Structure formats: structure tokens, C-alpha cells
């Protein structure tokens, strides 16, 4: 886009269509990769939570077994119950910390992905606006040139292009697949 030929005394540039389409193709490839990365992060989060739950269950079973062995004496039973509860509380605290960390990590990745997608979408919109403006100016220039050459020829211009402001060779932004 930066290598386009500039029109003198204006901020307009003629953009190479193939280069523009190559950039759009690169965006089509990059966006699905970002989505796959977000899915991997979400899957990893689920695995971490699952491991934390398994560890919490293992600690709980160990605490219960330890408590059962200490049932012989009332004082020992009270101590065992307190110890078991402390271990359960510790396991639940660790599981919650792991869940919170996984959630925070997933949120950070998703926010980064959202920012990147917004940046890419802004670039696409800017490119489309520049291209549409350039096309409108080219059409207006051609209309003025033709109107100056022959008054009757002007009416055929609008019909020949169908009044479309977008080249039929360029895909609409809504046509881009995000999956």
C-alpha cells in the first residue's frame, strides 16, 4: 500500500490491486490462526482446572483416610478432623488460585486477540476507504473529462459500470471467513 503511485498535489495514491489482494489473503490466514490459538488457550485452561480438581479430590481422599485412621481416640479424632478440614481448605484454595490464574491468562489472551483483530479491522476499513475514495475520484475525473469532450456521452458512463462503487474483483469485507 505504501508503494503505490502518488497523485501530485493530493494525498491520493494508486494502489496495486494484486498487492492489496495479497494483504487481504494474509489477513484471512492470520485471523483463523488467532482463533485457533484462543481455542487452545481455553482448552489448556480446562485441563488445568481438571488437574486441580483431580488433585483436590486426591488430597480430600487422603485427608479422609487419615481421619479414619485417627478415629480410635476422641482427642485424636478431633485433631484428625481439623487436619482433614485444613487440607481440604488448602486444596480448595489451591484449586481456586489455579482456576483464577487460568481465567486471568485466558482473559489476557482474548483481550490481546481482540485488540489485534480490532487493529486489523481498522487497517482493512482504512484501506477500503482509501480505495473507494480513489475510485470515486477516478470516476469523477473520467466523467468530467468525458463531459467536456461530448455532452451526450456522459449518460452512458453510469450504465456501463452499473453504478457500483466497488470493483467486482475485490471481495467485500463481509465475505471474509473468520473460521
Domain that holds residue 114: 12-147+166-175
Partner residues linked to 13 by β-bridges: 6
Q: Give how many domains the chain has, as a whole number.
A: 1
Question: How far apart are alpha carbons 101 and 107 in whole angstroms?
Answer: 10
Q: At what angle do helices 154-161 and 74-149 cross, to 10 degrees?
A: 150
| Residue 101 counted as domain residue | yes
Which of 13-22, 65-74, 154-163, 167-176 is predicted most confidently? Answer: 13-22
pLDDT digits (tens, 9 = 90+) for 87-123: 999 999 998 999 999 899 989 999 999 999 999 999 9
| Residue 44 counted as domain residue | yes
pLDDT digits (tens, 9 = 90+) for 29-58: 777 777 788 888 888 888 999 999 999 999
1 and 127 Cβ atoms separated by less than 8 Å: yes
Tell me how many degrees the CA angle 151-156-157 measures, rounded to the nearest 5: 95
CB neighbour list of residue 12: distance below 8 Å, 6 or more residues apart: 6, 133, 134, 137
Count of beta carbons in the 10 Å neighbourhood of residue 166: 12
The confidence band for 152, taking pLDDT boundaries of 50, 70 and 90, is low
Sequence-ordered alpha helix ranges (H) in 70-174: 74-149, 154-161
CB neighbour list of residue 40: distance below 8 Å, 6 or more residues apart: none
Question: How far apart are alpha carbons 73 and 83 in whole angstroms?
Answer: 15
| Residue 129 counted as domain residue | yes
Cell of 100: 483464577
Closest to 58 (Cα-Cα) out of 50, 47, 69, 70: 50
The confidence band for 161, taking pLDDT boundaries of 50, 70 and 90, is very low
| Residue 117 counted as domain residue | yes
Using DSSP's 3-state secondary structure scheme, residue 68 falls into: helix
| Residue 2 counted as domain residue | no
| Residue 157 counted as domain residue | no
Q: Is 162 left (phi over 0), alpha (psi -120 to 50) or beta?
A: left
Amino acid at each position: 500500500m505504501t508503494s503505490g503511485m502518488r497523485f501530485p498535489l493530493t494525498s491520493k495514491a494508486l494502489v496495486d490491486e494484486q498487492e492489496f489482494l495479497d494483504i487481504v489473503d494474509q489477513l484471512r490466514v492470520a485471523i483463523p490462526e488467532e482463533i485457533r490459538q484462543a481455542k487452545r488457550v481455553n482448552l489448556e485452561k480446562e485441563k488445568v482446572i481438571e488437574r486441580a480438581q483431580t488433585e483436590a479430590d486426591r488430597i480430600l481422599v487422603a485427608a479422609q483416610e487419615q481421619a479414619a485412621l485417627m478415629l480410635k481416640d476422641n482427642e485424636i479424632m478431633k485433631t484428625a478432623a481439623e487436619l482433614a478440614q485444613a487440607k481440604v481448605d488448602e486444596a480448595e484454595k489451591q484449586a481456586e488460585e489455579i482456576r483464577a490464574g487460568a481465567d486471568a491468562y485466558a482473559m489476557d489472551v482474548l483481550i490481546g486477540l481482540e485488540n489485534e483483530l480490532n487493529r486489523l479491522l481498522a487497517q482493512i476499513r482504512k484501506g477500503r476507504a482509501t480505495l473507494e475514495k480513489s475510485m470515486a475520484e477516478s470516476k469523477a475525473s473520467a466523467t468530467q473529462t468525458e463531459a467536456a469532450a461530448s455532452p451526450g456521452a456522459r449518460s452512458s458512463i453510469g450504465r456501463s459500470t452499473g453504478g457500483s462503487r466497488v470493483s467486482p474483483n475485490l471481495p467485500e469485507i463481509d465475505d471474509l471467513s473468520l473460521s
